[in-house]
């Protein structure tokens, strides 16, 4: 599983390699809805953005992540970010996450398009055997979106993380495995044709 930088493109979005110079545009995107105020997510604000970007790029340098900036093709506007990460080379597994979009793009085709691009790359180029998704128990919108992709819930990790405010996070774990990919891909493509 060689994690080379790559651009991925669909009908309305491009995923380009994350760069430090995307900082201001990402802050603008996060400001659309003040996404950092959602207590159960980790969308960076102005105080946290530098560490957020450095962590993503450090993981990329270590060969365990491939972070992307999400660009709306029609306007060439940066609207969010997403990432392949927690790459387990020996077991050919990885996770998709650190995903957020400006609020204006919620309930649009953007998430479905991004996930189809990332899953296709993971299963067909990187030859993973399983792709994992994790989210906070209280993030109902994320849990529903992950289930709509066709991922199955594996379980809940109780008291999995200590949040910045001191509360404990129960983490809901979902996955799509290699044998399910063909049906999931067909379903995602069908959903996108229904939106157009």
What CATH number has the domain bearing residue 39? Answer: 3.40.630.30
Q: Report how far residue 54's alpha carbon sits from residue 62's, in angstroms, rounded to the nearest whole number.
A: 12
Q: Is residue 64 situated within a structural domain?
A: yes
Strand, helix or coil for residue 110:
helix
Q: Report how far residue 6's alpha carbon sits from residue 130's, in angstroms, rounded to the nearest whole number.
A: 20
Q: Is residue 88 situated within a structural domain?
A: yes
70 or 41: whose pLDDT is higher? Answer: 70
pLDDT in tens, 56-78: 999 999 999 999 999 999 999 99
Q: Which of 106, 124, 119, 130 is nearest to 35 (CA)?
A: 106
Q: Is residue 3 situated within a structural domain?
A: no
Domain enclosing residue 77, as ranges: 8-195
Q: Is residue 58 situated within a structural domain?
A: yes
Q: Is residue 177 situated within a structural domain?
A: yes
pLDDT in tens, 74-94: 999 999 999 999 999 999 999
Q: Which of 101, 129, 136, 127 is nearest to 115 (CA)?
A: 101
Q: Which of 49, 41, 45, 29 is nearest to 104 (CA)?
A: 29
Q: Is residue 2 situated within a structural domain?
A: no
pTM: 0.93
Q: Is residue 182 situated within a structural domain?
A: yes
What total number of domains does the chain contain? 1
- End-to-end, the C-alpha distance of the chain in Å comes to 34
Q: Is residue 104 situated within a structural domain?
A: yes
| 38 has a pLDDT exceeding 90 | no
């Amino acid at each position: 599983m060689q994690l080379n930088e790559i651009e991925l493109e669909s009908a309305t979005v491009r995923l380009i390699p994350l760069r430090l110079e995307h900082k201001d545009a990402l802050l603008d995107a996060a400001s659309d809805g003040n996404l950092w105020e959602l207590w159960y997510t980790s969308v960076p604000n102005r105080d946290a953005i530098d560490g957020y970007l450095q962590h993503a790029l450090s993981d990329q340098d270590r060969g365990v992540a491939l972070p992307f900036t999400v660009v709306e093709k029609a306007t060439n506007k940066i609207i969010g970010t997403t990432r392949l990460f927690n790459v387990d080379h020996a077991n050919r597994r990885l996770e998709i996450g650190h995903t957020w979009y400006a609020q204006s793009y919620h309930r649009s085709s953007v998430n479905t398009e991004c996930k189809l691009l990332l899953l296709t790359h993971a299963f067909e180029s990187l030859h993973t055997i399983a792709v994992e998704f994790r989210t906070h128990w209280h993030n109902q919108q994320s849990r529903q979106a992950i289930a709509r992709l066709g991922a199955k819930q594996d379980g809940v990790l109780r008291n999995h993380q200590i949040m910045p405010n001191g509360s404990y996070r129960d983490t809901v774990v979902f996955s799509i495995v290699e044998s399910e990919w063909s049906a999931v891909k067909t379903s995602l493509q069908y959903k996108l044709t229904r939106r157009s």
